[in-house]
Structure 1
C-alpha cells in the first residue's frame, strides 16, 4: 500500500516536496512512519509520545483532516501533512509556541480560589470533558479563523477558559470573560470544525457559545453586531 507524505526542510531546494512510500497494511500511521524512518529514510521527522492516544503529540493531517497518527489506520493513496496554522519546523513537526501562548492570554487557569465553594457531582461533570483536552492542536489546525486572524485565541484556549468560568471554585469568573473579548469569542465563526476533529469528544464550538452568553451577562456585546446600529420604533 502506498501513502504520500508532504515533507519540508528549510535548506532543501525546493524546501517542500511530496514523497511516496510503500507501507504495510493494517498498521497505524505512527507505526508506518516509524517503519519508514527505521528502514528507508532516517531523516523523516515527526512527533510521537505515548502511542496510545493520550499525549496528543502525533497529531497530523491526513487528506485534509486532523488525526492522531497513533490511532489512524492508513488507506491507499493517503496524503499525510503537518498541522496547519503553525510554522513547519521540519516534515511533520510544527512550532507550537504561538498556539501555546494563547493559554495565558485566555487566563486559562484558576484565577482566584473560592475556599467556601462546594463542588457538586453535577458541577464536576459540567467541566469534566473540557479537562480531557490533550493539547494535540487538532482544533487549532482545523480552525479557519486563524488563517486570516493569526492573533485569534483559538478553540483549545477558549474551551479551557470556559472550563474555569464554569468552575464553582473560581471566585473571579469575570477575569476569564474579560480576557477572551479581543480576538476571541466574537471572532469565532461557529463552523464546528474544531468539534469535528477533537479526539477527546470536546465541543469547543458549544463552549464558545456559552462564553458568548456569559459575556453578554457581563455586559459585553458582539462588536460585529454593534456596527449595524440601533433602530427604534415610535408609537
Structure 2
C-alpha cells in the first residue's frame, strides 16, 4: 500500500510504501518512522480516540490517526487553520483562547439534584476532546481568525443548557460578536467530529436563546441601519 504525506519545509509530497492491511493510520506512521524515515514528525497520545492529539486530514477530511484505517493512495496532511510546527504537528493552542473569549466554563453553579433527562441534555457536548477537527473544517474560521468557532460555541451551549448554572447572560453576550451570527450553518464541522457532536445544532440553539434574550443578527441590523429593533438587546 502506498500513502502520501505532506512534509513541512519541502515543496513536495512524499510517498511511502508499506505492507499493511486493516490497521490504523497511526500504526502505519509508527512503522514508517521506526523502519523507514525517522524524520517524519506527527503527534499522538492515548491511541484510543480520547485525547484528540492525532487529528490530521486524509484526502481532504479530518480524522483521528488512531481510528482511521488507510487505503491505497491516501494523502495525509496536517489539519488546516493552525500553524504547522513540523510535518503533521500543528499548534492548536488557539482553541483555548476562544474558550476564554466565549466564557466556556461553569460559573456560579448551584448544588442540587439533576434528573437523568437534564443530564442527557449536555452529555454529548461534554465529550469534546479538543482535537480541533471542527476548526480545520470551518470555512468561516479560514477567513476570519477571530471567529470563536465550533468547539467554543458548542461548549457555551453545554453550560447555557445546564440547569445548575444560575446565570447565562455573560455567556450569551460573549458570543454575539465573531460568534453565533458569523457562522454560516454550513455543517462542515458535524461529520468530522469524532465524538459525534453537532456544533451546527448547538449554534442554532444559541441563536434561539439569544433571540429570547433580545439579541438579533447584527448583520441584519446593519442592513437596516441599526436601531432598537435591529440588533440591540432589549431588556
Question: What TM bracket, shorter-length normalisation?
Answer: over 0.9
Equivalent residue, structure 1, for 2:8: 8
Contact kept? 2:56, 2:77, Cα under 8 Å: yes
RMSD: 1.2
Q: TM-score, normalised by structure 2?
A: 0.92
Contact kept? 1:159, 1:207, Cα under 8 Å: yes
Equivalent residue, structure 1, for 2:119: 124
Q: Distance in 1 between matches of 2:2 and 2:22?
A: 12
Q: Distance in 2 between matches of 1:92 and 1:199?
A: 18
Contact kept? 2:43, 2:54, Cα under 8 Å: yes
Q: TM-score, normalised by structure 1?
A: 0.92
Q: Distance in 2 between matches of 1:160 and 1:175?
A: 14
- Would you identify which runs of 4 or more consecutive aligned residues in structure 1 move more than 3 Å? none
- Tell me whether 1:147 sits opposite 2:142 in the alignment: yes
Q: Distance in 1 between matches of 2:191 and 2:157?
A: 19
Indicate which of 55, 58, 73 corresponds to 2:54.
58
Q: Distance in 2 between matches of 1:170 and 1:228?
A: 35
SS of the aligned residue for 1:127 comes to coil
Contact kept? 1:118, 1:168, Cα under 8 Å: no
Q: In the TM superposition, what whole-angstrom CA distance separates every residue of 1:91-148 from its partner, at most 9, and x where no partner exists? A: 0000112222111111111111223x44211110000000011111111110000111
Equivalent residue, structure 1, for 2:175: 180
Structure 2: 5+ residue stretches without partners: 225-229, 231-235
- Tell me whether 1:92 sits opposite 2:88 in the alignment: yes
Could you tell me how far 1:38 is from its partner in structure 2?
0.2
SS of the aligned residue for 2:80 comes to coil
Indicate which of 39, 44, 48 corresponds to 2:44.
48
SS of the aligned residue for 2:121 comes to helix
Could you tell me how far 1:16 is from its partner in structure 2?
4.2
Equivalent residue, structure 1, for 2:200: 205
Q: Distance in 2 between matches of 1:25 and 1:17?
A: 26
- Tell me whether 1:107 sits opposite 2:107 in the alignment: no
Contact kept? 2:95, 2:151, Cα under 8 Å: no
